[in-house]
Structure 1
Amino acid sequence: MVEVKNVSKQYGNKNVVDNVSLQIAKGKITSFIGPNGAGKSTLLSMISRLISKDSGEIFIDGEEVSKCNSNELAKKISILKQSNHINIRLTIRELVSFGRFPYSQGRLTKEDWRYVDEAIHYMELEDIEDKFLDQLSGGQQQRAYIAMVIAQNTDYILLDEPLNNLDMKHSVQIMKVLRRLTDELGKTVIIVIHDINFASCYSDYIVALKDGKVVQEGPTEEIIDSSVLKGIYEMDINIEHINENRIAVYYA
């Protein structure tokens, strides 16, 4: 379980994350939603220790992240940020193998390569695994980076807007993969996502942030409600239930 206790982060005079406390259950997909500037990505980065918190505590399975050994933490948490820039020329397969670094320190074993192959298969990249990243579309690159995260084989997978640059087909593919990782392998997925439709269809739990604070949280069916969403986004949002697994969101 992830426990966030009274965590804050300030840039200049602005409280980007303001005294946030929450618990994130294991084996579920938890989505962070909310307007731009709500503090979603900053909170995600603090949970993974990519950036430091100014105050408060964050526990992963009972251990405070600031006290964790970096290599051991990398075996427990993987994170994919919005922008990824690698300045060396790599193939997809080489990139995905980077996910095994916490275990192999660059000397990959047969077991490491098995995880690489499984991750490439998960993301349906076998046919292009030997292509260089600079030969790929933005969507293909994003799928390759997600495969790298999968290869890291952590209990917790943190993703910051992973559907950026993806068309509908590949967005659905990625969300289905995350659902499988959760349901079949017991992974815990924490995702920053703007698309309320995808959040509604694939999340177990939703945390809504606004102005650096948690303003609503709960099971998906409780948060995906027109009146609740209106309070989060300060605009009229109409929800049409297509079936038990799909909704359509309309912004008035």
Structure 2
Amino acid sequence: MITLTNVRKEYSSDVAIGPVNLEIPAGGITALVGPNGAGKSTLLTMIGRLLGIDEGNITVASYDVTSTASKDLAKIISILRQENHFVTKLTVRQLVGFGRFPYSKGRLTKEDEGIISRYIDFFNLTELEDRYLDQLSGGQRQRAYVAMVLCQETNYVLLDEPLNNLDIAHSVEMMKHLENAAAQFGRTIIVVLHDINFAARYADYIVAVKHGMIEKEGTPEQIMKNEILSEIFNTEIEVIEGPHGKIACYH
């Protein structure tokens, strides 16, 4: 479980996050949703200790994020940010192999190589593993980055907008991979999503963020309601029953 207790981050007298009190359940997919500028990515990066907090406490599996040694935290939690500045002359296999660094320190063992192959296969990248990153499509490259994060083999995986710049087909493909990863490998995946319908379809738990605060949280069934979504996104939203669950329609 991930627990945030009275967490605050202040940028100015007018811009602040928190205080946030939140418990993210272990297992499955938790989606952070909300309008632009709500603080979703900030929350995620604070949980991953890529951004410090001004007040409060964050624990991941009972480890204090602020005080746990980096080498230990890297075996508990992994994170993929939005901005990935890739080195063009890096192959898919080399990139995914970076996920083993907390264990191998750059000297890959036979066991590491087997783990790298497992995630390359899982994300259907086997035929592409010797290609350079600049030879891949955006969707293929994004799969390689997520494979790298999962290759770190942490119980907790943080992904900041992994559907960014992906079309509908590749977005569906990515969410299916994450759904399978959570089930097959027993991971807890926290993902920032812009599309509430992807959250409703694939997440087990939804946390809605607005103005730096937790507006609502619950299962998709609890969150996917006209009045709740309209309040979160500041626009009229109608929820209808679709073939695979509830769908939000914007007016």
Same fold (TM over 0.5): yes
Q: Which runs of 5+ in 2 are unaligned?
A: none
Matching residue's letter, 2:246: I
Q: 1:250 matched to which residue of 2?
A: 249
Query: 2-side partners of 1:206 and 1:102: how far apart?
Result: 30
Residue 62 of structure 1, CA deviation: 1.3
Matching residue's letter, 2:172: V
Change (3 A) 1:114 1:14: farther
Q: 1:192 matched to which residue of 2?
A: 192
Query: 2-side partners of 1:32 and 1:212: how far apart?
Result: 12
Residue 14 of structure 1, CA deviation: 3.4
Normalising by structure 2, we get a TM-score of 0.96
Residue 88 of structure 1, CA deviation: 5.8
Is 64-73 or 170-179 further displaced after alignment? 170-179
Query: 2-side partners of 1:14 and 1:87: how far apart?
Result: 38
Query: 1-side partners of 2:136 and 2:91: how far apart?
Result: 10
Amino-acid identity (%): 49
Q: 2:177 matched to which residue of 1?
A: 177
Q: Deviations over 1:145-185 (max 9, x none)?
A: 01101111110010000011212222112111211122222
Q: 1:226 matched to which residue of 2?
A: 226
Query: 1-side partners of 2:127 and 2:246: how far apart?
Result: 34
Matching residue's letter, 2:5: K
- 2:209 counterpart SS class: strand
- 1:99 counterpart SS class: helix
- 1:44 counterpart SS class: helix
- 1:175 counterpart SS class: helix
Q: 1:74 matched to which residue of 2?
A: 74
RMSD: 1.2
Q: Does 1:108 align with 2:93?
A: no
Q: Are the equivalent residues in 2 in contact too, given 1:242–1:248 (CA < 8 A)? A: yes
Q: Deviations over 1:190-231 (max 9, x none)?
A: 010011111001111111010000011111110011111001
- 1:14 counterpart SS class: coil
Structure 1 segments, 4+ long, off by >6 Å, are none
Q: 1:138 matched to which residue of 2?
A: 138
Is 86-95 or 222-231 further displaced after alignment? 86-95
Matching residue's letter, 1:116: I
Q: What is the number of residues matched between the two proteins?
A: 251
- Match runs of 1:1-252 below 5 Å: 1-87=1-87, 89-243=89-243, 245-252=244-251
Q: Deviations over 1:94-124 (max 9, x none)?
A: 0000000001000011111111111111111
Normalising by structure 1, we get a TM-score of 0.96
Query: 2-side partners of 1:88 and 1:57: how far apart?
Result: 39
Q: Deviations over 1:9-46 (max 9, x none)?
A: 11133333120010011112111000001000000000
Query: 1-side partners of 2:48 and 2:227: how far apart?
Result: 32
Matching residue's letter, 2:68: C
Q: Deviations over 1:218-252 (max 9, x none)?
A: 11110011111001011111122112x33332210
Q: Are the equivalent residues in 2 in contact too, given 1:2–1:59 (CA < 8 A)? A: yes
Change (3 A) 1:51 1:233: same
Q: Which runs of 5+ in 1 are unaligned?
A: none
Matching residue's letter, 2:249: Y
